[in-house]
Structure 1
Amino acid sequence: MIEKKKHSIKEDFSTLALLTMPIAVAVNFVGSQIHHALSLPLFLDTIGTFFVSMLCGPWVGALTGLIGSLVNGITNPSGIPFALTSISVGLVAGFLARAKMFDTWWKIVISIVLTSLVSTIVSAPIAVLVYGGVTSSTDSLFAATLMASGVNIWKAVIGTSLLFTCIDRIIAIVVTRLIIKVIPARNLIKYSLGNNYVKNSTSKTA
């Protein structure tokens, strides 16, 4: 019987993980700036969080998501309450990574669905209760249009959020997985969850 590996929070926060976090936060910031500059309905601000979560685990991912949201809040203060969403993304992605849910494409599809659902469950109440369903984000215009046509605020926000979040997660997870795929195995194994991708880093993902 193979003994299940025990994960230590201290081990997850290795020197390499701490050095990777600022890079991930910077990637999130750039994605957020692209989102605002082009008025896209996609946030593009979780690629760094997914990268850290998939290699370092849920707690490092959650902290990266939180810091990233606070940094993004410098230029977009209205987004700070959604730090809870970023934290949830880091946690869920990290636990999915521990369960090796990013090593084959069918598992990746499941992970996209799960992270999209959790993000929507966390972000929708914030959008409705804090901002009345309409935020500074472009995707809220679609929700506002639905509400103007008579759709219930919760249905409008949840439906719109789930749609665009799912697309956003597809981009974030696929991009992150492709980046991990080209990282040499000797570098991957230095991360706490890096061994999960060593086999697939040099061969075609199943």
Structure 2
Amino acid sequence: MVENKLKITLLSAIAIALNIVLGIITSSFKLPFYLDVIGTIFIAVYFGPWYGAAVGGITNIITGMIFNPKDIPFLIVNVMVGLIVGFVAKKFKFNLVVAIVTGIILSIVCPLIGTPIGIWVYGGLTGTGMDFLFLWLKQSGSNIFVASFIPKIINNLLDKIGSCILVYLLIKSLPKQYKPFKLR
């Protein structure tokens, strides 16, 4: 029992660090995706929705404390990623098709939650290479929600589907004894 709790704690800490490091890298290069939920997705598939939600929330609290407190409200998005992926993985075997469908669901849900937060905190900008699209849409007469939502959908399609596929490939490549029981 203690060994299992230690494994969960250690893997969760690694997942949080992975979220933070990948988020920093993609943000530094202004890439049109985030990769800051790969650890959340992994833990949610591996241990379930509540562990995934905890990893997601803690990730944003830590990044908010270290880098920018304005990032803390986005923990709602990361928590939802953990919950959605965790419940999907509980119900279905997390194979390639399920990973892609889950990524599509996240690509819609995350911007629906994140867009109002992004407008409130950053005026609608994403901090990615897609900000030009936001500015163009805003200058073209779109309201701020639409101008902010469309680039986020594009970012999230790349990011969430790609992240779910990467986690699927990672879990698939693990030796059988290290795979979650449902995926053996």
TM-score (norm 1): 0.81
Q: Does 1:116 align with 2:107?
A: yes
Aligned with 1:76 (options 59, 64, 68)? 68
Equivalent in the alignment of 2:55: 64
The CA deviation string for residues 67-105 of structure 1, in whole angstroms up to 9 with x for no partner, is: 1112222123332221111111111111111012522x3
* Partner in structure 1 of residue 181 of structure 2: 195
Q: Distance in 2 between matches of 1:75 and 1:129?
A: 18
* CA shift digits 1:158-180 (9 cap, x unpaired): 21111111110122111111111
Task: Output the amino acid matched with 1:85.
Answer: V
Identify, as 1 or 2, the structure richer in helix.
2
User: What's 1:182 paired with?
Assistant: 173
Q: 1:136 to 1:167 in 2, by over 3 A?
A: closer
**Match among 158, 166, 181 for residue 157 of structure 2:** 166
| 8 Å CA contact 1:24, 1:49 repeated in 2 | yes
Once residues 131 and 39 of structure 1 are traced to their aligned partners in structure 2, the CA distance between those partners, rounded to angstroms, is 16
Stretches of structure 2 lacking an aligned partner (at least 5 in a row): none
Contact kept, 8 Å, 2:70 with 2:121, in 1: the verdict is no
Q: 2:123 aligns with which of 125, 132, 137?
A: 132
Which position in structure 2 is the counterpart of 1:6?
A: none
- Which residue identity is paired with 1:157? S
| Greater displacement, 13-22 / 115-124 | 13-22
Q: Could you list the per-position Cα deviations for residues 1-53 of structure 1 after superposition, in whole angstroms to 9, with x for gaps in the alignment? A: xxxxxxxxx9xx84321221100011111101111221112111111111101
Bigger CA drift: 64-73 or 85-94? 64-73
Determine helix, strand or coil for the equivalent of 1:161.
helix
- Name the CA shift for 1:77/1:41 in 2 (closer, same or farther; >3 Å): farther
C-alpha spacing 1:72/1:137, structure 2 compared with 1 (3 Å): farther
Q: Distance in 2 between matches of 1:160 and 1:110?
A: 20
Q: Distance in 2 between matches of 1:42 and 1:76?
A: 19
Mapped contact 2:126–2:152 kept (Cα < 8 A): no
Alpha-carbon contact 1:66-1:84 (below 8 Å) kept: yes
Determine the structure 2 residue equivalent to 1:154: 145
Tell me what 1:98 maps to.
90
> Which moves more between the two structures, 56-65 or 128-137?
128-137
Q: 1:76 to 1:139 in 2, by over 3 A?
A: farther
Task: Give, in whole Å, the separation in 2 of the partners of 1:76 and 1:171.
Answer: 26
Q: Percent identity?
A: 31
- Is the contact made by 1:133 and 1:144 (CA closer than 8 Å) also made in structure 2? no
1:143 aligns with 2:143: no
Gaps of 5+ in 1: 1-9, 189-193, 199-206
2:34 matched to 1:48?
A: no
Q: Please give the TM-score of this superposition, normalised by the length of structure 2.
A: 0.90
